[in-house]
Structure 1
Amino acid sequence: MIRVDVRVEGVVQGVGFRPFVYGLATRLGLAGVVGNDAEGVFVEAEGPRNRVEEFLVALRRDAPALARVERVRAVEGAPLGASGFAIARSDTSGVRRALVSPDTATCDDCLREMADPADRRYRYAFVNCTACGPRFTIVRGVPYDRSRTTMAGFAMCAACAAEYHDPADRRFHAQPTCCPGCGPRLRLTAATGAGLPGDPVAECAAALRDGGVAAVKGLGGYHLAVLASDEAAASALRRRKHREDKPFAVMVADAPRATLLCEVDGLAAALLTGPGRPVVLLPRRDRAPVAPSVAPGAPHLGLMLPYTPLHHLLLAATGEPIVLTSGNVSDEPIAHDDADAFTRLTGVADVFLTHDRPIHVRTDDSVVRPFRGGSMMLRRSRGHVPEPFTLPSGAARPVLACGAELKNTFCLAEGRRAFVSHHIGDLENHETLRSYTEGIAHLSRLFGVVPEVVAHDLHPEYLSTKHAFGLDGVELIGVQHHHAHIASCLADNGEQGPVIGVAFDGLGHGTDGTLWGGEFLLAGLAEAERAAHLVPVPMPGGAAAIRQPWRMAAAYLDAAYDGRPPEELATDDRWHDVLTLARTGLASPLTSSAGRLFDAVSALLGVRHAVTYEGQAAVELERLADPAERGTYQATVTPGGVRGADLVRAAADDLLSGVPREVIAARFHNAVTGLVVRRCEALRETSGLTTVALSGGVFQNMLLLDRTVTGLSAAGFRVLTHRRIPANDGGISLGQAVVAAARDR
């Protein structure tokens, strides 16, 4: 007979781990106790040695589906002669180390209950159990108990309490347990807030079928919904939301229905049906029954499956796919507070399908796309946050990484764990900044991380940088934007480097004070050296050149033709004024940005002269490219860098010669691939490095990424790309945290 004191760390609260331990110990005839505390799960177990050893193996091997066991520590001691096994009351004292599970899609068992007319939870919009339901968005503190969630205000009825306290029931200690008699309730209201009669789901579906716009309260905030087949409704939603071109996401009832809209292979089906239920970008079928305004001109659709009981009920009631896009006006954070939603979405939504369970943390949907047998994360949020990343090497002191300006996330790191936040958005208004600061405070409390080191971008005007400089009693570490990109790719792959890092993006503040974005770095975790880059060109009008890519076309053509660009390539009445601006350097900062190079070629080919969302010009240029074309252009290398203007000159000459735009777009993509491979080969000769890390928003271009990976691999390189964290600025905070931790050591 032996006794062991066991500590289990990882995602082990709110996932049915205590009932699992109780059942396992009972089956093995062990005595003892299991409970939650601030660090995770503690177990005391005693019995015959062989059964205790079997118990310890099974703790990790047979853990519940949603659990993620990081570590099991056991200390053997003398048996006490205990009898029976029990679940102890949670211990709230001590240093907080317990992890919180992400929100998880409704499980099959709960769906069966919801569909059974004889079940007391028939058609109940809040059915859940230990295997599914809300977690991160409702939790206020740890240990994860009902009293520290937004379910605290709903007292369980006798039937729910019986399930909650029954170790044999799958709702044993499921904190959001509820039923129609004691749990949250739906209501449908007009935009004025006045309640509407009838069944809320049925009446909401009727409003959608009548061409209305509905605001629907989900797990992490409100969505705006219309029928995906209704052009008038989709167009109205665009006008009201002030979202001109960026595609909307579409929710379908199940995977078979997804195949009616998109090409869905085994990998895509696995992504769609996984517990995180992200939006998955998939190739659109010809004649898919989706209104043109849902995704104007896009060859892909962002599809997702229902992940709450309410979604299942609404999809069944409408009988067809619906648009489900973030409940906000463009550039604002998603609305999650009821009063705020009615204030901000009145005038956008005709009806509100809402409920009385508060959302504690606003959380947008995650977005992924299949790539080479796996997935590429484009936006990491609901369904993934707050699962931690493991740092390549630990942080000596707790770190806050403040992230970038666009697609902002922040990161808290302590020891070997790094918690990257949910998607915050672009830090360009007060509402988003408030969401950012509230999010930092909440995650700091939740995981007990009190930062002593704060990492920030070098750009002095980023609100995230200003937030860092406003903190007292911390050590500040500035991290160059593109070094952070490469460090995030290293962390994503569990690597420490050094590597040849290729960071291509819109722009970032360089160590020399200029705007970088087409960078070749020799980079490890702590340091990075700028080894090569695109030759800088002016950005006429500064930020105006981002919104109006024709300005970049003018600047690049001026450089390409030595100050004498062909008049027939002029694309705007202000062409000559902008050329003068670029030549004088007035309000025209120099940039080596690869993103601006893509913008220039897009405008040159008449694809996009002005954009309504970030990256639009490059997205549509990729869409135009003929995938069968294998021709290319060449860029010369000078002491000042790689001449992107040479690619623009070649593209312009082809255009003037009558070469089809689709061919030119493809040749340009092939040319960028070629210059990346050749520069990396040259750097391998001088550095001896044989691994390349690709990062930055430009490498979300799948045509470019796929051909670059193929070309580098053929040249003998090992290639690292992003999988779990976005290549765009949503991954910057993780990179900052990794760099700061490495320097602090």
Structure 2
Amino acid sequence: MRRVEVRVEGVVQGVGFRPFVYGLATGLGLAGVVGNDADGVFAEVEGPRGLVAEFLAALRRDAPPLARIERVRVVEGEPRGDRGFAIVRSDGSGARRALVSPDTATCGDCLRELADPGNRRFGYAFINCTNCGPRFTIVRGVPYDRALTTMAGFAMCEACASEYHDPADRRFHAQPTCCPDCGPRPRLASGRGEDLPGDPIAGCAALLMDGRVVAVKGLGGYHLAVLASDETAAADLRRRKHREDKPFAVMVAGLDQARSLCEVGDLAATLLTGAGRPIVLLPRAGDGPVAAPVAPGNRHLGLMLPYTPLHHLLLAATGAPIVLTSGNVSDEPIAYEDADAFARLAGIADAFLTHDRPIHIRTDDSVVRPFGGGGSVLRRSRGHVPAPVTLAWAVPRPVLACGAELKNTFCLAKDTRAFVSHHIGDLENYETLRSFTHGIEHFSRLFGIVPEVVAHDLHPEYLSTKHAVELDGVDLVGVQHHHAHIASCLADNGEPGPVIGVAFDGLGYGTDGTIWGGEFLLAGLASFERAGHLVPVPMPGGTAAIRQPWRMAAAYLDAAYDGRPPEGLDVARRNEERWKDVLSLARGGVGSPLTSSAGRLFDAVSALIGPRDTITYEGQAAIELEQRADPAERGAYAASVTAGGIRGADLVRAAADDLLAGVAPEVIAARFHNGVAAVIVRRCAELRDACGLSTAALSGGVFQNLLLLGRTVDGLRTAGFRVLTHRRVPPNDGGISLGQAVVAGARDVTSRRPSRATRRAT
């Protein structure tokens, strides 16, 4: 006989792990107990030695589909002659290491019950089991038990309780278990909050088909919905939401509907149907039934499949794709509390499809693009969070990293776990800042992390930086923006460096006080050296040049032609009233800070080949430039390298010369992309010759551009480089917090921990 004490750590709560252990042990005739605690799952198992060994082998091999085992510890004990096996009460004492599962799309078993008229949960909008349903968005604390979720207010009926306590049932110890008799209920209300008669979901579908805008409560907050084919409704939504051009996401019932709208390859299908159900950006396939205002001027659509039973029922009732975009006014965080949603969305939505299960923490949809053998994550949120990024090394002390200003996430790191938050948004208003601080408090409480080190961006005016410096009793670590990008890529790949880092993005505060953005770094985790960059050019009017890319075209053309830009360019003609004034600003340096930004270079070329003179959302000009490029074109513009850096102006001049010669804009866009990729490869090769490093890491928002990323990766590999790209966190500023956290941890290892005042000064 043998007795063992077993401890399992990872995502093992809320995924049916205790029922799995119970079934495994009883099936083998073993005695003992299993339960949840602050670390994860614990078990004591006793029986014949061979059967205990078989139990331990199956523990990892046959774990539930949503489980993610990090570690199994086994301690030998003395047999006691126990009889029977039981699930025991959870123990919430001690330091917390238990993980929480992300929210998971409705499983196949639940969908079959949902569609079965003979099942008692037929048509029930909140059906779930141990293999699917809400997790992160309803959890208030650990261990993961019903009492610590927003399901606590729904007492299980006798039938549900019987399933919950039956070891043979799929809902054995499934915390959100419920049914129409005891669980949450949908409700359809007018824009004024008055109940509307009839079946809520059928009523919502009727409103959508009648051209109305409906606010729909999902897992992590409210969405705004219209019928995707309705031109008037989509335009109304765009006008009411104050969202001029940024594309809306579209929810489709299944892959057949997805293929009627977009090109869906095997990888895209895998991403669409995965348990996380992200928005997947895909090329359009012909003229599908999607109204022009859904994604104006955009050759891609963001598609997602239903991930809650309510969504499945709604898509079945409408029989057509629907727009499902975040429930907010532009630049505000998504609404998730009912009273707030009715107050903020009343001027947008004609009606509300809501329900009475509270959402504890707001969570936007994740966004990915197919790339290589997997997905390039552009926004990491629902379906991914709060699963940690497991580090290949430990941070010495708990770290809070406050992230960047745009696409903000924060990160709490302890030991080898880095908890990168859900997408917070742009920290530019009070509501988003409140979401940021509330999220930090929730993660800290949920995972038992009290930070001793706080990392932040060097920019003194970022709200995330200001939050960091106002905290007491912590060591502060300032991390340069582009170093954080490369460190994030290193952590994403489990690599400590050093590497040749290529950090191309919009803007980042440099160590010299100027605006960086087209950087080559020799970087490890603790430190970096700036080893090259794009030659800085003026940003005429400062931030106005971000909103009006034609200003960057003017500045680059002025640099490219030594102060004598050619006549006959449409960009100058379209903006002739202000063209000379902007050139004077650029030449005089008044209100025109210098920047090495790669993002501004892409803006300039986009405006040059036109007609994108102004933008209404971040990255719009560069996105349109990528979509315009002819992927079959292999020509490339050349850029010279001087003592001052890489001359992006050479690329602009080549593009302008081609444009004046009548070359098609699609060819110019492709040659520009190919030229940027070529100059990256060339500069990396020069640095390899100088320093001996042969691994390149690519990061920054510009590498969301898959045409550029693909050409750059191919070129570097052909040149003999090992190439690191992002896999688990975004290359954009959504990954900055992870980079800040690992830099702070690495410096904590190598430093002698100077005082707070000294650390702040550095």
Mapped to 2, the partners of 1:484 and 1:120 lie a distance apart of 52
Task: Indicate the residue corresponding to 1:223 in structure 2.
Answer: 223
Matches within 5 A, 1:346-385: 346-385=346-385
Q: C-alpha deviations, 1:192-224, integer Å up to 9, x for none?
A: 000000000001000000000010000000000
Tell me the CA shift for residue 567 of structure 1: 3.8
Tell me the CA shift for residue 346 of structure 1: 0.6
Mapped to 1, the partners of 2:357 and 2:94 lie a distance apart of 30
Matches within 5 A, 1:113-192: 113-192=113-192
Matches within 5 A, 1:186-335: 186-335=186-335
1:662 to 2:674 alignment: no
Mapped to 1, the partners of 2:145 and 2:215 lie a distance apart of 30
Task: Indicate the residue corresponding to 1:711 in structure 2.
Answer: 715
Moved more, 404-413 or 493-502: 493-502
3-state SS in 1 of match to 2:138: coil
Task: Indicate the residue corresponding to 1:71 in structure 2.
Answer: 71
Q: C-alpha deviations, 1:698-724, integer Å up to 9, x for none?
A: 011111111111111111111111121
1:731 to 2:741 alignment: no
Q: Which runs of 5+ in 1 are unaligned?
A: none
Q: C-alpha deviations, 1:91-127, integer Å up to 9, x for none?
A: 0111111000000000111111111111111110000
Mapped to 2, the partners of 1:227 and 1:494 lie a distance apart of 44
- Number of positions where the alignment pairs a residue of Structure 1 with one of Structure 2: 745
Aligned AA (2:551): R
Aligned AA (1:403): G
Matches within 5 A, 1:476-487: 476-487=476-487
Tell me the CA shift for residue 70 of structure 1: 0.6
1:504 to 2:508 alignment: no
Tell me the CA shift for residue 568 of structure 1: 3.0
3-state SS in 1 of match to 2:395: strand
Aligned AA (2:401): A
Q: C-alpha deviations, 1:409-444, integer Å up to 9, x for none?
A: 000000000000000000000000000000000000
3-state SS in 2 of match to 1:212: coil
Quick check: 1:191–1:351 contact (8 Å CA) kept in 2? Answer: yes
3-state SS in 2 of match to 1:393: strand
Matches within 5 A, 1:445-524: 445-524=445-524
Mapped to 1, the partners of 2:287 and 2:609 lie a distance apart of 27
3-state SS in 2 of match to 1:531: strand
Mapped to 2, the partners of 1:95 and 1:607 lie a distance apart of 58
Q: 1:678 aligns with which of 672, 675, 682?
A: 682
Q: 1:693 aligns with which of 685, 694, 697?
A: 697
Mapped to 1, the partners of 2:273 and 2:567 lie a distance apart of 54
Task: Indicate the residue corresponding to 2:601 in structure 1.
Answer: 597
Quick check: 1:397–1:452 contact (8 Å CA) kept in 2? Answer: yes
Moved more, 428-437 or 251-260: 251-260
Mapped to 2, the partners of 1:279 and 1:667 lie a distance apart of 30
Tell me the CA shift for residue 295 of structure 1: 1.1
Q: C-alpha deviations, 1:547-592, integer Å up to 9, x for none?
A: 0001111111111111121243324111111111111111111100
Quick check: 1:538–1:555 contact (8 Å CA) kept in 2? Answer: yes
Tell me the CA shift for residue 297 of structure 1: 2.0
Quick check: 1:125–1:313 contact (8 Å CA) kept in 2? Answer: yes
3-state SS in 2 of match to 1:73: strand
Mapped to 2, the partners of 1:264 and 1:625 lie a distance apart of 20
**Percent sequence identity over aligned pairs:** 79
Mapped to 2, the partners of 1:269 and 1:633 lie a distance apart of 36
Tell me the CA shift for residue 252 of structure 1: 0.7
Mapped to 2, the partners of 1:631 and 1:59 lie a distance apart of 55
Task: Indicate the residue corresponding to 1:613 in structure 2.
Answer: 617
Task: Indicate the residue corresponding to 1:106 in structure 2.
Answer: 106
Quick check: 1:607–1:621 contact (8 Å CA) kept in 2? Answer: no
Q: C-alpha deviations, 1:497-524, integer Å up to 9, x for none?
A: 1110000000100111100000000111
TM-score in terms of structure 2 length: 0.97
Mapped to 2, the partners of 1:331 and 1:539 lie a distance apart of 24
Task: Indicate the residue corresponding to 2:441 in structure 1.
Answer: 441
3-state SS in 1 of match to 2:333: coil
Quick check: 2:377–2:728 contact (8 Å CA) kept in 1? Answer: yes
Matches within 5 A, 1:623-634: 623-634=627-638
Aligned AA (1:287): D
Tell me the CA shift for residue 467 of structure 1: 0.5
Mapped to 2, the partners of 1:460 and 1:335 lie a distance apart of 29
Aligned AA (1:584): G
Quick check: 1:500–1:521 contact (8 Å CA) kept in 2? Answer: yes
1:622 to 2:596 alignment: no
Q: C-alpha deviations, 1:369-415, integer Å up to 9, x for none?
A: 11012111010000000000111311100000000000000000000
Q: C-alpha deviations, 1:119-141, integer Å up to 9, x for none?
A: 11111000000000000000000
Aligned AA (1:502): V
Q: 1:583 aligns with which of 560, 583, 587?
A: 587
Mapped to 2, the partners of 1:355 and 1:419 lie a distance apart of 30
Mapped to 1, the partners of 2:249 and 2:426 lie a distance apart of 19
Matches within 5 A, 1:524-563: 524-563=524-563
Quick check: 1:557–1:648 contact (8 Å CA) kept in 2? Answer: yes
Mapped to 2, the partners of 1:373 and 1:416 lie a distance apart of 26
Mapped to 1, the partners of 2:53 and 2:417 lie a distance apart of 28
Quick check: 1:607–1:620 contact (8 Å CA) kept in 2? Answer: no
Quick check: 2:389–2:728 contact (8 Å CA) kept in 1? Answer: no
Mapped to 1, the partners of 2:389 and 2:566 lie a distance apart of 52
Mapped to 2, the partners of 1:404 and 1:49 lie a distance apart of 54
TM-score in terms of structure 1 length: 0.99
Task: Indicate the residue corresponding to 2:760 in structure 1.
Answer: none
Tell me the CA shift for residue 30 of structure 1: 0.8
Mapped to 2, the partners of 1:173 and 1:632 lie a distance apart of 60
Q: C-alpha deviations, 1:310-359, integer Å up to 9, x for none?
A: 00000000011000010011100000000000011011011100000000
Q: Which runs of 5+ in 2 are unaligned?
A: 750-762
1:639 to 2:643 alignment: yes
Quick check: 1:607–1:617 contact (8 Å CA) kept in 2? Answer: no
Mapped to 2, the partners of 1:42 and 1:660 lie a distance apart of 66
Q: C-alpha deviations, 1:571-625, integer Å up to 9, x for none?
A: 4111111111111111111100000000011111113100000000011111111
Q: C-alpha deviations, 1:447-475, integer Å up to 9, x for none?
A: 00000000000010000000000100000
3-state SS in 1 of match to 2:409: coil
Quick check: 1:8–1:72 contact (8 Å CA) kept in 2? Answer: yes
Mapped to 1, the partners of 2:703 and 2:186 lie a distance apart of 43
1:401 to 2:405 alignment: no
Quick check: 1:548–1:609 contact (8 Å CA) kept in 2? Answer: yes
Tell me the CA shift for residue 633 of structure 1: 1.4
Task: Indicate the residue corresponding to 1:83 in structure 2.
Answer: 83
Mapped to 2, the partners of 1:372 and 1:78 lie a distance apart of 52
Aligned AA (1:503): A
Mapped to 2, the partners of 1:229 and 1:733 lie a distance apart of 39
